[in-house]
Amino acid sequence: MKIIVGLGNPEGKYNNTYHNVGFSVVDLFAKQKNLKFSTTKCQASIAKGEDFILAKPNTYMNLSGNSVYELRKYFKVPLSDILIVLDDIDMPKGKIRFRQSGSAGTHNGLRDIVNKVGPTPRLRIGIGRDENMNLADYVLSTIDNKSKEILFASYLEACNLIEKFINGELCQDITICNN
């Protein structure tokens, strides 16, 4: 059993923001698999596949570790079988990076997960940054149309990598540029 956790903020006002890229990716993957997020468990909205679970924490981003901790405990999976999908301001928009482990970098949601659960595999989607905006304002801002095109290509590639992760075919760190 694999658990794929998309990071984001649960309120509808955060839909289509840069900080909800993780939610957008797992939503697209669920759509590709004809799955619906119909269950709430472990402080997360859950969609179940045959050999995987998709989860979107119902906690706010900076408390994502609470949900991931409960998911791991409930489903009894090793850290290596949990994939965290998240935005990354330190990578150019559209760049994708998969790592088996590592630090949280500047991402507070991932930092909370690492502190409460430990380092897990992660799939980062670059969102770039706007140097003219406060960081919090930027990540919570609505994704503009030009960026949506770049990011959607990344979402599709991320879904391919999630499929490989579920099938045990994603065993090495990888970086893909989509911009």
pLDDT single digits (tens) 1-49: 999 999 999 988 999 999 899 999 999 999 999 999 988 999 999 999 9
pLDDT at residue 178, as a whole number: 63
User: What's domain 2-176's architecture?
Assistant: 3-Layer(aba) Sandwich (3.40)
**pTM here?**
0.94
CA-nearest of 67, 65, 31 to 162 is 31
Amino acid of residue 41:
K
pLDDT in tens, 74-127: 999 999 999 999 999 989 999 999 998 877 676 778 889 999 999 999 999 999
Query: So where are the chain's domains?
Result: 2-176
Packing angle between helix 21-32 and helix 145-166, nearest 10 degrees? Answer: 60
Residues carrying an active site annotation:
19
Residue 167 has pLDDT above 90, yes or no: yes
pLDDT at residue 4, as a whole number: 98
Residue 165 has pLDDT above 80, yes or no: yes
Name the region of 162 (left: φ>0; alpha: ψ -120 to 50; beta: rest).
alpha
